[in-house]
Structure 1
Amino acid sequence: MKELLTIPRLLVKAVEFCAIQSQYANPLLYGITDGKAVGTFVEHAFQTFISDAYEIQIGSSAKGIDLPSDDINTDIKVTSIKQPQSSCPFKSPREKVYGLGYNLLLFVYDKKDDPQTQTTKLNFISCAFIDKKRTGDFQTTKGIRQILDNNGNVDDLVGFFYDKNFPGDEIIFQGLAEEIMENRPKQGYLTISNALQWRLQYKRIVDTPKDSVKGIVKII
């Protein structure tokens, strides 16, 4: 009987997966320029890789993330180093402040096609686990924390939301500002752009030195 998957085991398998895939000449990805198709392939390959080794507890599919069980609660994101970003559903402007509500396991690859063999190698140049508490927007959380450090109040926070073109209205801003006064947010490390979906950008994660931020584990 296989052992149950845990986050530490997940991170170990991520290291193994990146090492194997970076050496593998893959004919299935040759000539594919659609980043979403590459990302879907890698996500499925990694899920198969970990499920072959560990028992994965299935959580609520309503969460819409790859590993939704309460103890893992992690979505897998795969992106090219050329433009390290992805999208996710918009639920609430609160996500920019307090994070997405789940962890991220981020794979960043550099895709190289070999015309002679008509195969592809994905060189994984970065892999990181981002704790859900660090998935807020960098500039938003930095600005809010500075306001709080300068003895700001609810009105200052509401004004900040308007200045930053936050999605929402006065009622939402008021409620969020009152929550922030009671619950100081952690510094986030994503760049979250407003759109019909959140656009998540990861360059700061890629550039963050290993072991420099609690809650961000640089695997590669």
Structure 2
Amino acid sequence: MKPQITIKDLTHEAKKFCEKMTSKNHKELIGVTDGKAVGTYVEHCFQNYLSEKYFIQSGNSAKGIDIPDPYINTDIKVTSITQPQSSCPFKSARQKIYGLGYNLIVFVYEKIDTFDCCRLNFVNCTFIEADRTADYTITKRLIEMCKDGANEEDISAFLSDKNVPGDEIIYQNLAMEIIKNVPKQGYLTISNALQWRLQYKRVISLENTVKGVVNFDWK
């Protein structure tokens, strides 16, 4: 019987997966320039790799994440080193302040093609806990404001100035919550588009100095 997967297993296996994928010839991807196609390929490979070793509860796929298993609750993101970012479905302004509501595991690759070979050199892999997936700039300033004794009006005005998606009522409700529950420092860059645009350069450069953001080195 396969063991139930844990977060520790997930991060351990991600490192081994990168080693395996980096040494393989991915003939299916020769000449493929569509980053989304490459990302889908890697995501499926990783999911299959995990399912061969572990029991993973299917959970509720309606959550829209790759591994909705309640023990894992993690979305897989795959992005090229040339532009390490991807998009994520928009749900609420609250995500920008308190995180996406699930963990992220981010694979960053460099694709090298020849006429008969495709190499995916995995240059980085990062696991980001759910409460660290908020916007860096917004959370940094909100933490400072709370320390300085800002009131609900101050915070509501700040959210409005930053064009956080929402109206006056949403800002007021968020302001009340922020004062009672100061957010943790987030480490993503999240735009205000209809889909979150997530940029990962900051987390890639942290080098394991922040609890909840783990970078793996297998070289």
Q: Counterpart of 1:81?
A: 81
- Aligned counterpart, 1:188: 186
1:122 counterpart residue number? 120
Q: Among all aligned residue pairs of Structure 1 and Structure 2, give the percentage whose two residues are the same amino acid.
A: 56
Conserved in 1, the CA contact under 8 Å of 2:190 and 2:196? yes
Give CA deviations for 1:162-211 in whole Å, capped at 9, x if unaligned: 1111111000000000000100000000000111111111010111112x
Q: Aligned to 2:205, which of 204, 207, 212?
A: 207
Instruction: Provide the rounded CA distance (Å) in 2 between the counterparts of 1:128 and 1:144.
Output: 25
Is 1:154 the equivalent of 2:127? no
Deviation at 1:152, TM superposition (A): 0.7
Question: What is the CA deviation profile of residues 125-155 of structure 1, one whole-angstrom value per residue up to 9, with x for unaligned ones?
Answer: 1101100000000000001011111111111
- Quick one: which amino acid aligns to residue 99 of structure 1? G
Matched, 1:141 2:139: yes
Structure 2 unmatched ranges of 5 or more: none
Q: SS at 1:133's partner residue?
A: helix
Maintained 8 Å contact 1:28/1:119: no
Structure 1: 4+ residue segments shifted above 3 A: none
Q: Deviations over 1:45-92 (max 9, x none)?
A: 000001011111111111110110211100000000111111111110
Query: Helix, strand or coil for the counterpart of 1:53?
Result: coil
8 Å Cα contact 1:191-1:201 kept in structure 2: yes
> 1:22-33 to 2 correspondence within 5 Å?
22-33=22-33
Q: Following the alignment from structure 2 to structure 1, what is the Cα–Cα distance between the partners of residues 4 and 200? A: 30
- In the alignment, residue 163 of structure 1 is paired with which amino acid? D
Secondary structure, counterpart of 1:62 in structure 2: helix
Q: Which residue of 2 aligns with 1:216?
A: 213
Partner amino acid, structure 2, of 1:185 = P
Q: Indicate conservation of the 8 Å contact 1:138/1:188, yes or no.
A: yes
Residue ranges of structure 1 left out of the alignment (5+ in a row): none
> Structure 1: how far apart are the matches of 2:145 and 2:105?
31
Whether 1:59 aligns to 2:59 is: yes
User: What amino acid sits opposite 1:190 in the alignment?
Assistant: L
Deviation at 1:109, TM superposition (A): 0.5
TM-score, normalising length from structure 2?
0.97
